[in-house]
Amino acid sequence: MTDKLKTISNLFEGKEIRSIWDAEKEEYYFSVVDVIGALTESERARKYWNDIKRDLKNEGSELSEKIGQLKLKSKKDGKNYLTDVLDTKGILRLIESIPSPKAEPFKLWLAQLGSERIDEVFDPEIAIKRSIDYYRKRGYDDKWIEARIKATLDRNKLTDVWKDGGITKDFEYGILTNEIYKEWSGMTAQEYKSFKGIRKENLRDNMTDIEVALTDLGELTTRHIAQKEKTFGLSENRKAAKRGGSVAKRTKEFYEEVTGLNAITKTNSLNYKYIDDNN
C-alpha cells in the first residue's frame, strides 16, 4: 500500500515517486523506475533502468541482490503491476551511481550526512545535541526530553541484563520486548504502532504519559526480576519479561478502575496522517 506522506519522495522536487510500506519489516520500498525517471528526465526510464540493472548484475554488485518486486499502481491505467523496488538505503546507493546533474544534490546531502556522523564518533555530544534539537523542533519541552533520554538509558540497562543472560540476537530482543508489551497492553510493539497509526516513528515518542509510565514499569520490573533470578537463555527471560509486563498490566487495570479512563489510546504526536490508496 502506498501512502500520501512524502518520505524520500520530497527530495524529488514534486516528482511522483511511488512507494509501498511493508509493515512486517517496517520499511518503505520505492519504485526504481520512478526514481530513474525523476533523475534523468528520460522518456525511456524503464530501458535506462534495465541497462543499469544489467551492469549491476555483471559487476556482481550487492545492490543487484537487494532489488525486489512488489505490486504498485500504474500511473497509466491505475492497475497494480509487479514493479522493481528498493528500500531507502538501496535507493540512496542507486542515486550515487547515476551520472546525472539532478543526482548531485543527493550526493552532496549524503556526503554531508556522512561527515556529520563521523564527527559524532569523535564527539558523541554532537549526537546528543542533535537529538535534543530534533525533539524541540517537534514541540517537546525540555522536561519531556530529559525523561526520554533517561528512558533510553534505562532501556539500555535492560538490554545489558538480557545480554548477560545469554541474549545475543536482535530477534531475541524483539521477542522479549514483545512479551512485555503483550502482557500489559495486549499488543506486540508492531501491533501497538499500527493501532496508533504510526510506521517508522518511535512508539514511545507517540505515547501518552501513562502509556510511557506503564512501559517503563514493565521494563524496570523485568530487569529487576532478571537480575535477582539470574535468568539465562530465551526461555527463562521470556518468563521474566511476561512477569514484568504483568506488573504493568495490574497497574494499568487499577489506573483505569480509579480514573475511569482508558490507559491505551490512539493518540500520537504526528502532524500528518497516512492515507493508503493502493488497494
Contacts of 172 (CB under 8 A, 6+ apart): 162, 234
Query: In the structure grid, which three cell numbers stand for residue 252, read together?
Result: 494499568
Query: In the structure grid, which three cell numbers stand for residue 232, read together?
Result: 539465562
Pick the residue with more confidence: 91 or 278? Answer: 91
% of the chain exceeding 70 in pLDDT: 93
Residue 5 confidence class, pLDDT cut points 50, 70, 90: very low
Pick the residue with more confidence: 245 or 58? Answer: 245
The pLDDT of residue 2 is: 39
% of the chain exceeding 90 in pLDDT: 56
Residue 4 predicted with pLDDT over 50:
no
The pLDDT of residue 275 is: 62
pLDDT, average across residues 1-29? 68
From the DSSP assignment, how many helices (H) and strands (E) are in the chain?
11, 4
Per residue in 180-224, pLDDT tens?
A: 999 999 999 999 999 999 998 999 999 999 999 999 999 999 999
Q: Where are the domains of the chain?
A: 8-118, 139-259
Pick the residue with more confidence: 49 or 6? Answer: 49
- Alpha-carbon gap, residue 256 to 215, rounded angstroms: 16
16-40 b/e (C-beta count within 10 Å ≥ 16 → b): ebbbbbeeeeeebbbbbbbbbbbbb
Residue 109 confidence class, pLDDT cut points 50, 70, 90: confident
**CA 197 to chain CA mean position, Å:** 13
